[in-house]
Chains A and B, each alone.
Chain A
Amino acid sequence: MKAILDWFDHRTGLSAAWRRWADHRIPGGACWCKVWPGAVAFAFLVQAITGFFLWVHYSPSDQSAWESVYFLQHHVAGGWLLRAVHHYSAQMLLVLVGIYVTQLIVTGAYRAPRELVFWTALLMGMLSLALLLTGDLLAWDQNSYAGTHVRVGFLKLLPWVGDALFKIAIGGPGPAFGHLALPRFLALHVGVFAVGFLVVLLLHGVLARRADAAEAEQAEHTAPFWPDQAVRVAVAALLVLIIVVALALQHGVSGDHVGAALGSPADLDPANRYAGARPEWAFRGLYAFSELFPGEWAILPIFVIPGLIGCIVLAMPFVGRIRAGHYFNVALTAVVLVGIVALSLQSLAKDRNSAEHQAAVDEERRQADRVLHLIRAADGIPAEGALSLLRGDPSTQGPRLFRQYCASCHDHTNGAGTGIKAEESSAPNLHAYASREWLAGLLDGEQINTPQYFGNTALRNGTMASFVEESLSDLDDDEKEDLAKIVMAVSAEARLKPQRKLDAGNAEQIRHGRALLADDYGCTSCHKFHDKGQLGDAPDLTGYGSRQWLIGVIANPAQTRFYGERNDRMPAYAESPDDPAANTLSAQDIGLLVDWLRGEWYEE
């Protein structure tokens, strides 16, 4: 054994190198206060290790990036832990570099001959910020896309080169990020910033030891690096890892929210840009600082002032040569740090108190949950990506479409009044449309002319309203029972999914209701109902509220089958079946809206 080692050593000189490294003398002796650079090195190595394994699972394209992260997070054994450790350890790395740099400033350890030691430490700080910035986008969820889009967009503030830098950064013309944005960010993250960090870290180590060696010659008391200081560094590094793992486990070890959050997949359509996007905590202070300036001067808080502060920090070793200069350096550091913390806290409080911001955040959270349900329902993600699942999901798109196209007139609120309120309620409330409760209200003399139904429409003076008010009020018990059967019969036409069991159970009453509707109550003298009555005077009750019926009404309510000339103000959303481009809503959108109105979507 010894012979082999000697053979090897003879050719590599490893043992001498090891001795040089281990026997390095620490001036002033070992100290817990000197663990920071070592802890930075460990935190970086944790990033390198976990980063490599994340890389192995990552597919940087806008149709597969989120999907590959999802797969890692939910289907690869230990994948969520890997992600979470990388996520929290990245923040730790920044914190550790921050502490270290602050320590160098406060203890005056930036003075000659340690200028380069100080500068390389600063460079590590910049690189860990750059790593956070580029790493954030890679998850490709709504928050990371919207946030990065704003941050990279700030490049355009720079005169002359801004536009070019923006295009180079995202690998395309913009304004939306295209296919090449993710490969670029990944290459920068790993190939430039992570590799750069490693190089600077090694350089920093060499420079710091060189400065130590010079100091150790003068020092009264020194200690060897191995094992005196090394043991302290290793213990500190383990403590950091324990904190990181604790953060990673804060949401438990299973379920949809384990580890680090993953939002819903990024949507490039500007109409769906995430409104609740905020920078990571490390950039919060800068974000709040920029809000202090009017938009014309945005270049000041984003580039000029941080740049100036950066230059002053770079010059600290020279300023600090005199005593007053050192005090200035320490004071400046304190002001900047306190300022960042204060601004961040203020900005967080502002968001907490903003109902709109909270609503946007909640909505995104719901969507992030929803996409997981949809993936389970589809038993995997289609090749077009997870976004296609959300785009085809009535429960996600229905409320959006309703808000945009219907809620200028229609409410969609339940009995308690919660739901989507119309801007100016002037048409029936469509919550649970065509259900038994909805129809029972319509056929109630007390209710038909309330704003819930015809109250705010031209129909309030129509034949139907007066018929209901005159003939369907003050009913005796038998008549009430008949009316209930008619309601069941009409509602059954809709074939509503939530009512399917009820409809099946009441087959007898429904049959009776159909007969009553046609014969005793004379509904068919105005309405068509299957083979009785005819079109022209009132909406067709055949298939009333069914998918096909609703699609027809929304497409064009003024068709003879529906309201004809009596149509109040409802627009036709798809008037021209032959020319889809001329329509306000596509067939797919109308389908989604109708499915949502009818309560028809996947539920676990």
Chain B
Amino acid sequence: MEAPCKTTSSPDKSSAAEPRRGFLAKAVALACGGVTLLAPAAVGVVAFLNPLRQKSLSGGFLKITTLPVLPEDGAPRRFSVIADRVDAWNRYARQPIGSIFLRRTGENDRPVEALQVICPHAGCTIEYQKTAQRGKFVCPCHVANFDLSGKRTDKKSPSPRDMDTLEVEMRNNTEVWVKFENFRTGAAKKIAEA
């Protein structure tokens, strides 16, 4: 490297005669040079790793729709989850931050079921397909099939777990509120994204 940070001794024709000074000079040269380069690199790396401090977009309960909007026959319908979205320096008011399927279950204590559209395999968007019988969910990317309650139906499913259910709360009789979360893709267990 370039000039060390201390003034060097005048060039000595017989430097081997002074091994200790030679050692000191080398050590100082390496230390000064190293710090000069490593310090800025370290700051850069800290900045580069900043995303690790950021939280995933998962909110509390959000109002999605009202019960009468859902088909009586239990067919699912897709809804966008609308909330304010923050991306680095921008705040977007009322934007789709996610998408879910809602469907009536016909059960009294749990009249509505909510499923994430994001495929647990690798995060593609699952689609609802009307079939001759009750219809099913299909992920277009690696063709994982799910039944209407989100259970995997393939013998060997590309998806490591069933579709992710979301907590639903009925408020004021007919309002459907859902706790919107994203879950880690690729994992056999359902782990909420932090």
Report which A residues bind B (CB closer than 8 A).
146, 149-150, 153-154, 156-157, 162-164, 167-168, 170-176, 178-180, 269-271, 273, 275-277, 290-291, 293-296, 298-299, 356-357, 360, 404, 408, 423, 571, 581-582, 584
Given known A270-B125, A271-B80, A404-B78, contact A296–B54 (CB-CB < 8 A): no
B182 & A168 in contact (Cβ 8 Å cutoff): no
Interface of chain B: mostly helix, strand, loop or mixed: loop
Given known A163-B184, A270-B125, A271-B125, contact A171–B87 (CB-CB < 8 A): no
A298 & B90 in contact (Cβ 8 Å cutoff): no
B124 & A423 in contact (Cβ 8 Å cutoff): no
B89 within 8 A of A: yes
Nearest chain-B residue to A294 (Cβ)?
A: B156
A269 & B69 in contact (Cβ 8 Å cutoff): no
Per-position binary interface string of chain B over residues 169-186, scored 1 when its CB falls under 8 Å from any chain A CB and 0 otherwise = 000000000000010111
The distance in angstroms between the C-alpha atoms of A499 and B156, with both chains bound, is: 54
Give chain B interface residues in 10-38, CB to chain A under 8 Å.
none
A173 & B123 in contact (Cβ 8 Å cutoff): no
B6 within 8 A of A: no
Nearest chain-A residue to B117 (Cβ)?
A: A270
B56 & A294 in contact (Cβ 8 Å cutoff): no
Contacts of B167 in A (CB 8 A): none
Report which B residues bind A (CB closer than 8 A).
48-49, 51-52, 54-57, 63, 65-66, 68-69, 71, 75, 77-78, 80, 82, 87-90, 95-96, 98-99, 117-118, 120-125, 127, 130, 138, 140-142, 144, 156-161, 182, 184-188, 193
B96 to nearest A CB, angstroms?
5
Given known A175-B56, A270-B98, A271-B80, contact A294–B127 (CB-CB < 8 A): no
Contacts of B68 in A (CB 8 A): 571
Nearest chain-B residue to A405 (Cβ)?
A: B77
B75 & A408 in contact (Cβ 8 Å cutoff): yes
Contacts of A174 in B (CB 8 A): 56, 182, 193
B78 & A271 in contact (Cβ 8 Å cutoff): yes
Nearest chain-A residue to B71 (Cβ)?
A: A408
Q: Which of B77, B78, B96, B193 is close to A175, meaning CB atoms less than 8 Å apart?
A: B193
Given known A172-B51, A294-B157, contact A150–B123 (CB-CB < 8 A): yes
The distance in angstroms between the C-alpha atoms of A173 and B65, with both chains bound, is: 27
Nearest chain-B residue to A581 (Cβ)?
A: B63
Contacts of B158 in A (CB 8 A): 290-291, 294-295, 298
A295 & B125 in contact (Cβ 8 Å cutoff): no
B182 & A175 in contact (Cβ 8 Å cutoff): yes
B190 to nearest A CB, angstroms?
13
Contacts of B193 in A (CB 8 A): 173-175
A156 & B99 in contact (Cβ 8 Å cutoff): no
B55 & A150 in contact (Cβ 8 Å cutoff): no
Q: Which of A149, A168, A173, A291 is close to B142, meaning CB atoms less than 8 Å apart?
A: A291
Q: Which of B49, B54, B56, B118 is close to A270, meaning CB atoms less than 8 Å apart?
A: B118
The distance in angstroms between the C-alpha atoms of A356 and B128, with both chains bound, is: 12
B121 & A168 in contact (Cβ 8 Å cutoff): no
A571 & B69 in contact (Cβ 8 Å cutoff): yes
A372 to nearest B CB, angstroms?
25
The distance in angstroms between the C-alpha atoms of A481 and B120, with both chains bound, is: 62
The distance in angstroms between the C-alpha atoms of A356 and B138, with both chains bound, is: 10
The distance in angstroms between the C-alpha atoms of A273 and B125, with both chains bound, is: 6
B48 to nearest A CB, angstroms?
7
Given known A298-B121, A584-B69, contact A179–B51 (CB-CB < 8 A): no
The distance in angstroms between the C-alpha atoms of A179 and B77, with both chains bound, is: 31
A357 & B140 in contact (Cβ 8 Å cutoff): yes
A172 & B88 in contact (Cβ 8 Å cutoff): yes
Q: Can you name 19 A-B pairs with beta carbons within 8 Å?
A: A153-B122, A156-B184, A163-B184, A167-B51, A168-B49, A168-B52, A173-B51, A173-B55, A175-B185, A179-B87, A179-B89, A271-B125, A273-B124, A275-B124, A275-B141, A291-B158, A296-B160, A299-B186, A404-B77
- Given A178-B88, A296-B160; 20 other pairs, CB 8 A cutoff: A153-B122, A156-B184, A156-B187, A157-B186, A167-B52, A172-B51, A270-B96, A271-B78, A273-B124, A273-B125, A275-B125, A290-B158, A291-B142, A295-B121, A298-B121, A357-B140, A360-B140, A404-B77, A408-B71, A582-B66
The distance in angstroms between the C-alpha atoms of A273 and B139, with both chains bound, is: 11
The distance in angstroms between the C-alpha atoms of A293 and B78, with both chains bound, is: 30
B87 & A356 in contact (Cβ 8 Å cutoff): no
Q: Which of A171, A173, A295 is close to B144, meaning CB atoms less than 8 Å apart?
A: A295
Nearest chain-B residue to A423 (Cβ)?
A: B130
The distance in angstroms between the C-alpha atoms of A360 and B127, with both chains bound, is: 12
The distance in angstroms between the C-alpha atoms of A412 and B193, with both chains bound, is: 41
Given known A290-B142, A291-B142, A294-B158, contact A171–B120 (CB-CB < 8 A): no
Given known A157-B186, A269-B99, A295-B160, contact A149–B140 (CB-CB < 8 A): no
Given known A179-B90, A295-B120, A295-B158, contact A168–B48 (CB-CB < 8 A): yes
The distance in angstroms between the C-alpha atoms of A173 and B159, with both chains bound, is: 22
Contacts of A296 in B (CB 8 A): 160, 188
Contacts of A163 in B (CB 8 A): 184
B154 to nearest A CB, angstroms?
9
The distance in angstroms between the C-alpha atoms of A150 and B141, with both chains bound, is: 9
B127 & A275 in contact (Cβ 8 Å cutoff): yes
Contacts of A167 in B (CB 8 A): 51-52, 54
The distance in angstroms between the C-alpha atoms of A404 and B90, with both chains bound, is: 30
Contacts of B65 in A (CB 8 A): 584
For the complex of A and B, list the 3 residue pairs with the smallest distance between their C-beta atoms, beginning with the closest.
A295-B160, A275-B140, A273-B125
The distance in angstroms between the C-alpha atoms of A174 and B182, with both chains bound, is: 9
Contacts of A270 in B (CB 8 A): 96, 98-99, 117-118, 125
Given known A163-B184, A269-B80, A296-B188, contact A172–B54 (CB-CB < 8 A): yes
Given known A174-B193, A271-B80, contact A156–B185 (CB-CB < 8 A): yes
A150 & B122 in contact (Cβ 8 Å cutoff): yes
The distance in angstroms between the C-alpha atoms of A276 and B172, with both chains bound, is: 41
The distance in angstroms between the C-alpha atoms of A153 and B159, with both chains bound, is: 13
Nearest chain-B residue to A269 (Cβ)?
A: B96
A384 to nearest B CB, angstroms?
11
Contacts of B57 in A (CB 8 A): 173, 175-176
